[in-house]
Each structure stands twice: as structure tokens, then as C-alpha cells.
A and B are shown apart, each in its own frame.
Chain A
Amino acid sequence: EAGVVQSPRYKIIEKKQPVAFWCNPISGHNTLYWYRQNLGQGPELLIRYENEEAVDDSQLPKDRFSAERLKGVDSTLKIQPAELGDSAVYLCASSLRTTNEKLFFGSGTQLSVL
């Protein structure tokens, strides 16, 4: 079974440029998460989807970040314009709605904003 697939693996951009990340969750997983992880820190939730509905986006900086999950499968996370402080690893995860909701993470996209 394929795991959570993210692309690209690495992205280097100049500040003020736009950038987008793509995530394909595990087949059948209705819950999808986007996390941001800074070096030496734990992941921080940006947004959580239940199917195509964003049910928790309270930590998403909406002035520059946007996300979508069309048809409740793949998802994209966009930053426009990027700032130096956005440099981090962006992780996508998916899960089934079960009692313990085990999360499966992708390998992440490492973003460097110069």
C-alpha cells in the first residue's frame, strides 16, 4: 500500500514569490492534515480536512496561506507571498476516523525562502 505522497521534496524560492505543495493521502483516508515543522521543533497544525471540508484552520495564517482539498482526496497548500520566516518542513498526514486515529505522515516538503 502506498503511503502519503508529497511533492516536491525540496523547494528553494526567493521571498515574495509564491509556492505550492501537493499531497496525495493514503487511499480511503478521509482526514487530511497539513503541519509545519521548524528545525528542532515538533509539528504544528496548519489545517485539518474531513473529506473536502476544512474543519480546523484556526492556525493557518490566512493572509498569505491557502489550502484546498478538491473532491476530498488530493490537497494543495499555497503560500503567496512567501516570507523568510516560512522556511520550514511542510508535512502532510492522513488518517481514518477511528477511535485512536493513527496518523500517517508523508516525507514532507523542505522549503527554503531566501
Chain B
Amino acid sequence: KNQVEQSPQSLIILEGKNCTLQCNYTVSPFSNLRWYKQDTGRGPVSLTIMTFSENTKSNGRYTATLDADTKQSSLHITASQLSDSASYICVVRLPYSGAGSYQLTFGKGTKLSVIP
């Protein structure tokens, strides 16, 4: 069974500090890896999408990295803000192989709390 494991499950950091969230996956091969941010009571919002050939992708203070050899991805948040408090979900997309065969595998997410 394809799996996406995220760590830590939850994290508390002080405002202004940096943090790194981890994603380990067993899906192989894969089409792309995504990071989503989900605020409480809202739907997930896409932060980054990386293909298997990309090593890093940035979106403002968010930087995602991908190591396809070790099957690891990380999301680094720089100079955290209170508004960064949310769940961050790692998602791996399997390669397209015909109608009905499309699949996204979601991790359980890391719940980040940024405190003043």
C-alpha cells in the first residue's frame, strides 16, 4: 500500500523562528509531490507542487525540497508568523495510467502552532 508519513505530528514554535516539516513516502514512481496548508475549518490550499525531477521550490517564506533517492521531502518555513498556524499536508500523486487510475495519496498532516 502506498504511504505518506509526516513528522512531527504537531509542532509549537515562537513567532519569528524557522521550522522544517518532514514527509517520507513509499510511493514509487510518482508524478509529483505537493504541500498543502489547511487552516482550521477551511479546505487545503496548495503551497508547492514539485515533479520528481525538481529538488526545490519556493513560495514566499515556504520552501519545499525533494530527495527522490531517499524518498523524502521537507517544507521549510522561514520567519514564522502567527498566520502560519495551520496543518501542513504532504500529498504524492501517482503517475497517470489511464481513466480511473488517477490517485493522490495524502499524509495525515503536521499541525503547526506559532505562538507570540
Contact = CB atoms under 8 A, between A and B. Distances in A.
A106 B43 contact: yes
Contacts, number: 51
Contacts of A58: 100
A91 B43 contact: yes
B78 interface: no
A45 interface: yes
Contact of B42 (A40, A44, A56, A107): A107
A91 B109 CA distance: 16
Which secondary structure dominates chain A's binding surface? loop
Contact of A43 (B51, B99, B106): B106
Nearest to B98: A55
A55 B43 contact: no
A16 interface: no
B76 interface: no
B43 A42 contact: no
Interface in A33-67: 40-45, 48, 50, 55-56, 58
Given A42-B89, A45-B104, A103 B46 contact: yes
Given A42-B107, A108-B42, A56 B89 contact: no
B43 A105 contact: yes
Contact of A42 (B49, B100, B108): B108
B102 A42 contact: no
13 contacts: A40-B108, A42-B89, A42-B106, A42-B108, A43-B89, A48-B102, A55-B100, A56-B100, A91-B43, A93-B43, A100-B32, A102-B46, A104-B46
Interface of B: 4, 32, 41-46, 49, 51, 89, 91, 93, 99-104, 106-109
